[in-house]
Amino acid sequence: MVRYKKSEEKRKQILFAAFQALSELGYDSVTLQTIADHAEVSKGVVHYYFDNKEAVLVELLEWLTGKISAKEQAAVQEQQTATGKLKAYIDSAFPDAAKNRSFYRVYLDFLARASRIPVYREINQRFYDNCARISTEVLTLGQEEGIFAKELSPETTAPVIRAIIDGCLIQWLMTDNDELHAVFKESCYAAVMKVLSSENMTNDKPLKG
């Protein structure tokens, strides 16, 4: 049992090192050696736990998206109202500038390759499915409370909510200005609230131009 725990701790150490290396150097520049250097272990130790760079990165993406999904879900579950859940969801997605910068540098590298690497696409789809469940919970509760448009369909609206969150964070990342992080978070909340209060996001009505 102790040996298993130490083994899991070492795997997490290597995964975190891979995350740091990707954030600092970018996907193409990362090798097993750079991962080992960031983990402060030998390349042989990394090879003991992972067959190759791809194996490390697949598990890294699964680990990262799983951690974020769990954190966001936990934050939402602590709230009782739709607006409280939505604010908790967005607050959790915008923890702080440093964390968002590190994550999205890595995440965007993975997304850029997802169309050509099926396993990345599959992992990301599971992440989006979890995001959709959170958004659906927020939307349906808000509809029950009478504050969100009843005509909105969870199937079409839930993906839009995550798209707004990711879009705002990516746009903030491009500004390279930490002081704007809070501004983009507030704008994100306002944009999602506008969508959820709109009757244009329906299955049978086109968006008005």
**Taking 60 as the threshold, does the pLDDT of residue 15 lie above it?**
yes
Residue that has been written with the tokens 């504050």 in this structure: 147
d(CA 140, CA 170): 27
| Between 198 and 23, residue with greater pLDDT | 23
| pLDDT digits 0-9 by tens, 19-33 | 999 999 999 999 999
- pLDDT bracket for residue 198 (50, 70, 90): confident
Q: How far is CA 147 from the centre of its chain?
A: 27
**Taking 90 as the threshold, does the pLDDT of residue 184 lie above it?**
yes
* pTM of the shown model: 0.89
Question: Mean pLDDT score of the chain, rounded to an integer?
Answer: 92
Tell me the CA end-to-end span of the chain in Å, nearest whole number: 61
Q: Which residues contact 144 (CB under 8 A, 6 or more apart)?
A: none
| pLDDT digits 0-9 by tens, 34-43 | 999 999 999 9
**Are the C-beta atoms of 161 and 184 separated by less than 8 Å?**
no
Assigned token pair, 185: 């978070």
d(CA 183, CA 116): 35
Structural domains present in the chain: 1-50 (1.10.10.60), 59-196 (1.10.357.10)
CA dihedral 55, 60, 66, 71 (to 10 degrees): 170
d(CA 40, CA 22): 16
